[in-house]
Structure 1
Amino acid sequence: MTETSQAPAATGTVIEVGHPLVRHKLALLRDVTTTTQMFRQLVNELTLLITYEATKDLATETVDIETPLEWTSAQRISGKKVAVCPILRAGMGMLDGVLSLIPGARVGFIGLYRNEETLQPVEYYVKLPDDLADRDVILLDPMLATGNSTAAAVATVKAAGATSIRLIALIAAPEGISRIHRDHPDVAIVVAAVDRALNEKGYIVPGLGDAGDRLYGTK
């Protein structure tokens, strides 16, 4: 092992992934005629694509390895390990996409639901790795709407010791982004799209509806 390099995470900003494949799959995801099966597949594929962008600043180190032909120098991820924390229930639809790229990540779970009258989050379940302080935490939440639930989830992992946190979402509203930047300016946000606004019920427009209901065929 000869060298270590690390780039700082893009904190306090939003990275909107504009790759043509992301735009194409997001258009299919928004379509009201997309079936539950296809919706799940698209969420998985989009998450995988966005994860490439969300993890591009993970620290790497130069190591010496032996190929079948000779010794050579190669890059390998170094530093902190990763913890992936989906926000239940819709965040579960994104989990496999991340784990397909980072299969050694630990997984934590944060159960929240939104009170439809107050729009405030209610926490009902938390199970996290014991060593979050030693890991880069990736939060998964398909829809960053008001930001209330996501901000609460960030506070939960911080209380458990996390210091390096990034959020992967499919769609975000400006209101939700502002909430995260206000409460947790150290958290990087990576999304497929930033939509226009929230409607009077706190849903993202144009959006894609309720991600959890479309993932699991419920209403």
Structure 2
Amino acid sequence: MVHIIGENNSLFNNYIAEIRDVEIQKDPMRFRRNLERVGEIMAYEISKHLEFKDTSVQTPLGVAPVSVVENNIVLATILRAGLPLHQGLLNSFDRAENCFISAYRKHNEGEDICIEFEYIASPSLDDKIVILSDPILATGSSMEVGFKALLEKGTPKHVHIVSVIGSEPGVEYVKKHLGEENVTLWVGAVDKELNSKSYIVPGLGDAGDLAFGSKIDSK
């Protein structure tokens, strides 16, 4: 199942607009904070699809009945671009366990760009709800790498994939390669085009560089 949050008018789209805006992007702190805000809203939307249990809370004046999330949640992200989005999810799911995946684009002259996986730091994922976040869903290949790395750490009850901006090819790739799995995809907005370097057009640029500064590409 695919949810495109920006299809419905809400404050969410203000954050998407600022994340895309080339002038506002010049302020890395605001860029990171907007990714956090998107993560917080995504967490709220995902929470509507979780399991709840009835409990009671002692107040100063009595006992209040309330329903709270019952699932054990693990928040996973792909370094480094995913960190602000991950933090937004963690702001809401503040008792969640955490998982970090190291992967990067490898540029080989004369060859297609490939995704190299380095390591994963994760708790056991058996029977847990996993929320895997990466701001950009371009080709979908890095998300597939991250997903397969997760499965080495257990069998989740369900995986929610979260991206801020996706491409139509990337969404179709995830549906094709992960569609038979117990997976739900959450995207802020979906653009049609990928350029020759596999960047989404109009997209937002390189989320990692905008959040944390430029880097030397791996060879």
Q: Same fold (TM over 0.5)?
A: yes
1:14 alignment partner in structure 2: 3
Note the C-alpha offset of 1:119.
2.5
What residue in structure 1 maps to residue 162 of structure 2?
168
- 2:132 and 2:161 in contact (8 A); partners too: yes
Aligned ranges 1:81-120 → 2 under 5 Å: 81-116=72-107, 117-120=111-114
Corresponding residue for residue 133 of structure 1: 126
Residue deviations 1:110-154, cap 9 Å, x none? 01111234222100121111x211321000100000000001111
Corresponding letter in the other structure for 2:94? P
Q: Are 1:28 and 2:21 counterparts?
A: no
**1:193 matched to 2:150:** no
Alignment partner for residue 45 of structure 1, among 34, 37, 40?
Answer: 37
1:183 is aligned to 2:177: yes
The aligned residue for residue 213 of structure 1 is 209
Distance 1:151 1:16 in 2: 22
After superposition, the CA RMSD in angstroms is 1.5
Bigger mean CA deviation after superposition, 65-74 or 172-181? 65-74
Contact 1:16 1:194 (C-alpha < 8 Å) held by counterparts: no
Distance across 1 between alignment mates of 2:32 and 2:150: 26
SS at match of 2:130: strand
Match of 1:154 among 141, 147, 152: 147
How far apart in 1 are the matches of 2:105 and 2:207? Answer: 13
The answer as to 2:138 corresponding to 1:145 is yes
Q: Which residue matches 1:4?
A: none
User: Identity of paired residues, percent?
Assistant: 32
State how far apart, in whole Å, the 2-side matches of 1:151 and 1:93 are: 20
How many aligned positions are there? Answer: 206
Normalised by the size of structure 1, how large is the TM-score?
A: 0.88
Gaps of 5+ in 2: none
What letter corresponds to residue 19 of structure 2 in structure 1?
A: L
Q: Give the secondary structure class of the aligned counterpart of 2:116.
A: strand
Residue 19 of structure 1 and its aligned partner are, at CA, apart by 4.1
- Distance in 2 of aligned mates of 1:13 and 1:103: 25
CA displacement, residues 77-135 of structure 1 (integer Å, 9 cap, x when unaligned):
11x31100111110112122111111111111101111234222100121111x21132
Give the Å deviation of 1:47. 1.4
Is the 2:135–2:162 contact (alpha carbons within 8 Å) kept by the matching residues of 1? Answer: yes
SS at match of 1:40: helix
| 2:4/2:190 contact within 8 Å kept | no
Deviation at 1:210, TM superposition (A): 0.3
Inter-partner Cα distance in structure 2 for 1:105 and 1:165: 14
Aligned-partner SS, 1:118: coil
User: Residue type matched to 1:40 in 2?
Assistant: R
Please, what TM-score do these two structures have when normalized by structure 2?
A: 0.88
* Unmatched 5+ stretches in structure 1: 1-11
Give the Cα–Cα distance (whole angstroms) in 1 for the partners of residues 57 and 83 of structure 2. 36
CA distance in 2, matches of 1:77, 1:14: 21
List per-residue Cα deviations over 1:158-211 (Å, max 9, x = no partner): 222132111111000011111111111131111111112211211111000000
